[in-house]
A and B are shown apart, each in its own frame.
Chain A
Amino acid sequence: MNLLAPIATSTIATVAAVLAGLLVIAYILKMRRRHFEVPFSTLWQRVLKEKEATSLWRHLKRLLSLLLLVAIVGLLLVAALEPEFGGAREESRAVVIIVDASASMKTIDEGDEGKDSRLDAAIEQVGLLLDGMSAGDAIMIMRMDGRATPLSRFHGDLAKHRKALSTIKASDTPASLTTSLGAAADALRWRKNPLIILVGDGAYPEDALASATWNGSEETPSSEGTPSFVHKELATVDLEGIDVRYQPVGQATDNVGIISFNVRRYISNKLNYEVFIEIQNFSKEPVTRRLVLFSGDSEINVKELQLAPGQKITKIYPDLGGGDDSVLRAQIETIDDGASDAFALDDEAWALMPENKRQTVLLVSEDNLYMEGALLIFEHLDVDKLTPAEYETALTSGELPTYDAAIYHGYAPENVVPAPTHLLYFKPFGPHSPFPIHGTLERGRITQVSQTHPVTRWLEMDDVNFDVLDTFSVDTSAAEVALFKSIRSPVAAAKKEGRRKVAAFGFGLQGTDIMLRVAFPLLMVNTLDWFAGADSDLITTYTTGRPARVPLDGTYGISEVAVTTPSGAQQKAPLREGYATFFAAEVGVHKLVAMQGGEEVAEIQVAANLSNAFESDIEPSAELLLAGQKLERPVPGTATPRQSLWIYLCLMVLLLLLVEWYTFNRRITV
């Protein structure tokens, strides 16, 4: 008889202790006697005096009752250990079957008449392997995609394993071989006759196949030549003592896939953008494909590509301007309408670009040629100019329209344009300055530029001269940021007030030569882009199977975001310090929404693509070299009949309960 012990011994011990406690409590409760009223207890006392000598049986009856309860609980615990008949303990194996459910397993091979995917073939193979398992073998099924997911604990119930197998669906992520092997090795630690069977198409990167070791801990000699400490590569998977087998599935099939896709807008012309795409032919034959670019549902570019065997084409499409949608989609199609691609997942890729939006800007300043001129060069801006007096009148009379941004030059009004209009100040002064003015610097120079803030990115301010620089008091604890510093004094700062963004510079355009430098238009572009949320460094295209870290503006104090996947599924993702971290498991466009108090605070869309050449190379590997060692095929075991005993134990428990019930009612037990 074997004990499969699907539950850890410590857990069983804890459960046994708790049950023992409960049993004693139940026994004590059961000992509570029924009360019967008699008219004359003297007679009973006389009888009992005579019966004292026979009280031993009474004690034995109590003991018998307790023994029955102990037997019932004991049998239940043994049943929990899933004992089985049929198989010697020494020969039984602990087996982890890793089923590759990565993106490449969605491939529909030619011989399968377009019906079954590689995953179906893998499940069939696992079924055959299960048929060959010996009685006493404890088996665990593990799904491998971007993560390793055990679908069962170690047990020998083949019906349950088959049921678990039927739930496996191929995902859109590359296979994480290292994670899966590590999880399997950990699960098999301390178990006898450990065996890992990997069932897949072998589409794994070289570094994953190399990050394993068969020798376990390696001693590294010290300089004196004696072993000083045990060195272990923590990143590698220790497979020492574990038999690893590989069962390949799949057939040789052609594939052409997009392995890289991205888009960016031009800094100088926000209306246009350029697209970067990489396409590779993984087949052994030359192929012709049509590449179509979509903006939303509109085709914006179509190209026909000739690809030699194994050829990778890198293309950049400059000055694209069509379409109004921010979602770009690339799709490769076969020329021949009848032809089909065996692996459709990498035929499509998505990219997102900052929204192409015109900004309305209010400039409040006395005549300011440099500022007006700088704003005029941006085609996507609509600029209105008011003097401070006109501004006050318009604001008081309520005739002021809504703007995306307001620029105050040499002026800090008491009443500013209502939120969410963003505010930019040049040389604010007086009590209504967005940042308190700490002092002034004569002929000061900017010595430090924040390279991390979007407003000051790429700026070079060393050669800019100023007559006078105002210095600000910046409260970093309120998330205010110093953009420029002169020695240690902030002379430019930025902050967020809810959804409104505010930037202020401690200088005007008089008394400086900044307008003659490249830095000035760049500063304006950066600031207006920051206001618009069009961060040119923002990455919105990710690969599946890896945690994506996405910045979300204005999410201070929010701990999670709602993620809507391309299939419409809803999930939650943690949000820390303005960054949401989520695992992209589907190809397509994901929507992240941060909510606070029932209101939407921030929203962003990100694209996730397979973009993995190893996964797109769907040529199955008949052989696999893991850490330099060729993996053998699994040997079918001798299927021996297995018989689970738990059902019989439960029947015995039922029988004992009936006996207990019968004897209790007959007053044989108490």
Chain B
Amino acid sequence: MAARAKKAAKIEDDRSSLFDEEFLKKLEYLHMVSRKTFVGQNRADRRMRKIGSGIEFADHRKYSTGDDFRYIDWNVYGRIDKLLLRLFEEEEDLHIYILMDASKSMLIGNPLKLHYAMQMAAALTYVGLANLDRVGIVPFSENLHPHLPVARGKGRIFKVFDFLRGIEAGGPTKLEVATQSFIHRYKRKGLVIVISDFYDPSGFEEGINSLRYNGFEPFVLQIYDEKEVNPSFHGDLTLVDCETGAAKEITVSKSLIEAYKREHEKYCAELSDFCSSKNIPYFRTHTKIAFDELVLTIFRQGGFLK
């Protein structure tokens, strides 16, 4: 029986067909759609909001000793008799970090949540690379796993596939610890797409806030499996937490299932409300929804491509 379970797990975690030809076609399609549909409303390439030595005017600020005289706005000085310095938006390549949950809880579901997350990461990476952005992938669980360094160019997509295939999943989810490590490791600010189920017993707030407080722009993508929301088991049984191993003997009844559904919905709503309150793009999906559909939804709603 153990052998059968092992075999089943092996089949489920088969990553060989994750990034096949069909997948590549879908990526290309997504890229075309992103360019045709959104170019009109958003600038072609997304830029970092950084004040510096660019050519596009951004704002004024008071002159202080030591500032370059060349940027003093003499027109304003002539009108209001105040020394204000002209600020320009500095143009630079966007850094996109995909912080992907590779904890043990991602190995649940059909298809596995991890596989879904990988496909999402690959799709978003491809779109980013195609837009000449720099994209890096950082898997995490209780800490950061080996990462794919930030780089650009569409040609890197196959390295991305190889990297994703080689991710070793396991360990509990500790988002706060992982984000702290991430912040210390990556100094260049950028967009951080957090793909996770957010099943962290210590909560998700601190982890996301850490990114915000350190100048990163979080982008939250929550993945869940339908069976997690609507469990099919009944009766007396022992529930074992797949990450912590904590066991709890319970008697599952219909009312308990209903209560659980409500609790799950409440938890997701908490995450959604948190992201809304912080102006963080938030998307929630289950694994039965095709990844390309989700990517298109993301494109439509904005937040990823500007």
Contacts and interface: CB of A to CB of B under 8 A. Distances in A.
Interface of A: 31, 33-48, 50-51, 54, 58, 61, 664, 666-667, 670
B177 interface: no
Among B235, B238, B248, B259, find the residue whose CB has the most chain A CB atoms closer than 10 A: B235
Nearest to A664: B235
Interface in B187-209: 197, 199, 201
B135 to A, nearest CB: 28
A61 B260 contact: no
Interface in B211-259: 225, 228, 231, 233-244, 246-253, 255-256, 259
B168 interface: no
A667 B240 contact: no
Nearest to B104: A39
A44 B239 contact: yes
Contact of B264 (A31, A37, A43): A43
Contact of A39 (B105, B237, B253): B105
A47 B260 contact: yes
B208 to A, nearest CB: 17
A667 B239 contact: no
Interface of B: 105, 108, 197, 199, 201, 225, 228, 231, 233-244, 246-253, 255-256, 259-260, 263-264, 267
A51 B237 CA distance: 16
B267 A37 contact: no
A50 B255 CA distance: 11
A41 B228 CA distance: 11
Contacts of B248: 41, 44-45, 48
Nearest to B105: A39
Given A35-B240, A41-B244, A47-B259, A670 B233 contact: no
Closest 9 CB pairs of A and B: A39-B105, A40-B199, A667-B235, A41-B241, A667-B234, A33-B238, A670-B236, A34-B237, A47-B259
28 contacts: A33-B238, A34-B235, A35-B238, A36-B240, A37-B108, A37-B239, A37-B240, A37-B241, A37-B242, A38-B228, A38-B239, A38-B240, A40-B105, A40-B197, A40-B201, A41-B241, A41-B244, A41-B248, A42-B241, A43-B264, A46-B263, A47-B256, A47-B260, A47-B263, A51-B255, A51-B256, A667-B235, A667-B253
Nearest to B247: A35
Contact of B238 (A36, A42, A47): A36
Contacts of B236: 31, 33-34, 667, 670
Among B199, B236, B246, find the residue whose CB has the most chain A CB atoms closer than 10 A: B236
A390 to B, nearest CB: 89
Nearest to A34: B237
Contacts of B201: 40, 42
Contacts of B253: 667
B240 A39 contact: no
B249 to A, nearest CB: 6
Nearest to B258: A47
Contacts of A47: 256, 259-260, 263
B198 to A, nearest CB: 9
Contacts of A667: 234-236, 251-253
Nearest to A55: B251
Majority SS at the chain B contact face: mixed
B246 to A, nearest CB: 6
B108 A44 contact: no
B125 to A, nearest CB: 25
Nearest to A39: B105
Nearest to A51: B256
Given A39-B242, A41-B244, A670-B236, A33 B108 contact: no
Contacts of B264: 43
Given A38-B241, A48-B248, A51-B256, 10 more contacts: A36-B238, A37-B239, A39-B105, A39-B199, A41-B239, A41-B246, A43-B264, A61-B251, A667-B251, A670-B236
Contacts of B259: 47, 50-51
B260 A44 contact: yes
B255 to A, nearest CB: 8
A545 B250 CA distance: 72
Contacts of B225: 39
Given A39-B105, A42-B201, A43-B264, A48 B238 contact: no
A530 B299 CA distance: 122
Contacts of B267: 43
Given A39-B108, A40-B105, A43-B264, A33 B240 contact: no
A175 to B, nearest CB: 66
Given A41-B244, A46-B263, A34 B238 contact: yes
Contact of B250 (A40, A43, A48): A48
Among A38, A51, A666, find the residue whose CB has the most chain B CB atoms closer than 10 A: A38
Contacts of A42: 199, 201, 241
A36 B228 CA distance: 12
B260 to A, nearest CB: 5
Contact of B260 (A31, A36, A37, A43): A43
Contacts of B249: 33
B116 to A, nearest CB: 14
A670 B250 contact: no
B251 A670 contact: yes
A139 B190 CA distance: 98
A42 B246 CA distance: 10
B256 A33 contact: no
B234 to A, nearest CB: 4
Among B199, B233, B251, find the residue whose CB has the most chain A CB atoms closer than 10 A: B251
A388 to B, nearest CB: 88
A43 B239 CA distance: 11
Contacts of A31: 236
Given A42-B201, A43-B260, A47-B263, A58 B251 contact: yes
A36 B239 contact: yes
Contacts of A36: 233, 237-240
A661 to B, nearest CB: 13
Nearest to B108: A39
Contacts of B250: 44, 48
Contacts of B228: 38-40
Contacts of A50: 259
A34 B243 CA distance: 18
Nearest to B203: A42
Contacts of B243: 39-40
Nearest to A59: B251
A38 B238 contact: no
Nearest to B260: A47
A61 B242 CA distance: 28
A50 B252 CA distance: 13
Contacts of A33: 236-238, 249
Contacts of B252: 667
A272 to B, nearest CB: 87
A666 B234 CA distance: 8
Contacts of A40: 105, 197, 199, 201, 228, 241, 243
Contacts of B235: 34, 664, 667, 670
Contact of B197 (A37, A39, A46, A51): A39
A667 B234 CA distance: 6
